[in-house]
Amino acid sequence: MGKINVMAQLTQEELQSVKDLQSKYNQTLFEIGVAEAQRLALHDQIEKLESSKKALLKDLESIEQKENDLVKSLQEKYGTGSINPETGEITPTT
């Protein structure tokens, strides 16, 4: 008589353990992909914010230069003093 090969089979618990690990593995890979996509989106947002910040700093420099020019012009016309921005009155510096 020949030997009969019997295939071994996992128990239900073992099979469930294998399935659970495969599921956790796939879920973890998915979450890594989501995290990477979020990281890339955040990186893009940071670059946009940095660009906006640079533009705002340039605007600030321009405003400061205009302020300096205006102060110089007003000092040439009215002398040194402080200006009340509500009334436009100038209080001379003594």
Residue 78, token pair as written in the block: 């009215």
d(CA 46, CA 34): 18
Single pTM value for the model: 0.59
Q: How far is CA 57 from the centre of its chain?
A: 18
pLDDT of residue 17: 97
pLDDT of residue 51: 98
Instruction: Quick: pLDDT tens for 3-59.
Output: 666 788 999 999 999 999 999 999 999 999 999 999 999 999 999 999 999 999 999
Q: Please give the torsion angle defined by the CA atoms of residues 21, 25, 26 and 32, in that order, rounded to the nearest 10 degrees.
A: 160
Instruction: Quick: pLDDT tens for 43-93.
Output: 999 999 999 999 999 999 999 999 999 999 999 999 898 989 899 898 988
pLDDT of residue 27: 98
pLDDT of residue 7: 82
d(CA 38, CA 32): 10
CA angle 4, 10, 15 (to 5 degrees): 155
CA-based torsion, 71, 76, 81, 82: positive or negative:
negative
